Structure 1
């Protein structure tokens, strides 16, 4: 069955009135996503693209005409496209009919990874035991391998197969705005010495330069904090989700192999192939009682 992450549908947990206790059977339906959920993340992503292109254009027009800013902004956009378009590591849903804890016998299993015992939790939506380091994304409604976080600015999960492109996107964007900020400050100093006016005079005479300087300064702080945090996570081979939940507190991280080997594994190891066939036909699910009368929107 095709994952719903790339389609305008979302599986929503529906509790049947006769099955309200924990552990009893639950039904799962497929319903259209709310337009606000789709548009909000799409608008944020368009805003990221527009801010990158606009900053590069203003820099080339009012600050300094150079080819390097165009190259850097192109690298930012290419990495943004890669992060957005690549399957982050979606785990296919099970086609089996088992959906309750009673059917599978237990809600968790235990495995040993490098001498550390880890639990594999059962996902009632995907009907699978999630592999280590995976998580069910509440936004995409899919289980994802090596789940780091869901980025609303990109509109995609950051996980096993696109994490390195996300980190490259952060670094290239940070370099771009540091470059813009440095030359913008230099141009402000030159114009203040030439005209003999103060900072407020420059703001009235050259508002585009001041706007670009302030925007790039804010972007440097935001991107810099993210880049430092994720560089630290890469060095210790830990995801943001694991770090946020203190998953290895009181026990060693079984995936920590040293800084050099961690960096090689996260950034340079061959990417595994996608486990989802995105060209397959999407098969909706509805309540068994409604099998003969599927939801009206399926006929649209």
Structure 2
């Protein structure tokens, strides 16, 4: 029996660590907690559907036909930015290979030296200089790497994300270096869409109230009341979130850095990434290059499946002896009346067979004596008579 290793080609996204969900053969990458994301889709699509059903037909006739057209364009842009933010790689950094992790550990131990018993080892950090300012790179014990500047480990997705801003459950993904621009455009366009729908809801109710009264207008368009309530409570949070990120973009700062007070603490460390100009900061974030993903999640790798046992074509062997293999079937050890004469074993053949069986049965301490055929006894009698 021998073991055969079977290798097959698999996509790298199937073996990536972390807590992400992949769809469409690795093209779609999201977090595992997607319940709030579905709620976001339901609120946006549901509110716009009510607006197109109740307000747009009336406003297109009595006010302007461009109102539903602009609403459709704005809705499609909001959905495009939402899906682009939710389905893309936010900038996940690959974890160190076992060989790389061992080498980094050796470097750290060599740099720290022997730590006396009872004392904590020094923190694992490295210092780099950015714009004439020292920035500390922290070591990630999960990914086994020194995180690049502005990177952080997301506890929900269990990955280090480059230029980590925050984990947003409303979009079902982390917001980082590769999708922050689309996240900001999503919040900005959603704010405009919410204001647009809320405004024309009020216009619609007012125009109908002039003709039939306020109560009759609400009875004729029951969906308008629901739209006004959803837009009213959504407006403050979405517009406030857009204003907060506009402030961060003007300073070239992330939400994570703002919460931790990285550049506004007691030491008053200046932000080394800011250009000291609002226009330059906004241009870098909103108009800068699109960074490629470093995961290569659709790349191909070899995977070894579990070994399968196959019967070898070579003769089986024991520690003491080897049984010779023949191509013809052997004759029975004890011939009978139905055995043909040419198939009966001779003395030499019987001796070889009995010797082989004796050697193979030494472990059980049973010995089989050599067998002789009836022809052997006849030949011995004839030889004895001739001698006398």
Category of TM-score, reference length = shorter chain = 0.7 to 0.9
Segment of structure 1 superposing worse, 214-223 or 121-130: 214-223
* 3-state SS of 2:138 partner: strand
Q: Distance in 2 between matches of 1:252 and 1:173?
A: 33
Residue aligning to 1:264: 283
Q: Distance in 2 between matches of 1:116 and 1:247?
A: 13
* 3-state SS of 1:64 partner: helix
Q: 1:195, CA displacement in angstroms?
A: 2.4
Residue aligning to 2:330: none
Segment of structure 1 superposing worse, 218-227 or 123-132: 218-227
Residue aligning to 2:263: 248
Matched, 1:164 2:175: no
Segment of structure 1 superposing worse, 189-198 or 67-76: 189-198
Alignment deviations for residues 251-286 of structure 1 (CA, whole Å, 9 cap, x no partner): 1110110111111111111122111111247999xx
Q: 1:191, CA displacement in angstroms?
A: 2.5
Q: Distance in 1 between matches of 2:187 and 2:297?
A: 28
Aligned partner (choices 206, 211, 217) of residue 232 of structure 2: 217
Q: 1:70, CA displacement in angstroms?
A: 1.5
* 3-state SS of 1:68 partner: helix
Segment of structure 1 superposing worse, 203-212 or 81-90: 203-212
Q: Matched residue pairs, number?
A: 253
Residue aligning to 1:75: 77
Alignment deviations for residues 41-97 of structure 1 (CA, whole Å, 9 cap, x no partner): 322111111211111111111112422212211111111111112211111100034
Instruction: Say if 2:205 and 2:214, in contact at 8 Å, map to a contact too.
Output: no
Residue aligning to 1:234: 249
Q: Distance in 2 between matches of 1:218 and 1:5?
A: 35
Instruction: Say if 1:3 and 1:142, in contact at 8 Å, map to a contact too.
Output: no
Q: Distance in 2 between matches of 1:226 and 1:109?
A: 34
Q: Distance in 1 between matches of 2:20 and 2:260?
A: 30
Matched, 1:277 2:296: yes
Q: Distance in 2 between matches of 1:181 and 1:148?
A: 30
TM-score by length of 2: 0.61
TM-score by length of 1: 0.78
Return closer, same or farther for 1:97/1:271 CA change in 2, 3 Å cut-off.
Answer: same
- Structure 2 residues without counterparts, runs of 5 or longer: 1-11, 23-30, 58-67, 113-122, 304-388
Return closer, same or farther for 1:282/1:179 CA change in 2, 3 Å cut-off.
Answer: farther
Q: 1:104, CA displacement in angstroms?
A: 7.1
Q: Over aligned residue pairs, what C-alpha RMSD do you find?
A: 2.4
* 3-state SS of 2:81 partner: helix
Q: 1:206, CA displacement in angstroms?
A: 3.4
Instruction: Say if 2:126 and 2:138, in contact at 8 Å, map to a contact too.
Output: yes
Q: 1:181, CA displacement in angstroms?
A: 0.4
Q: Distance in 2 between matches of 1:192 and 1:279?
A: 58
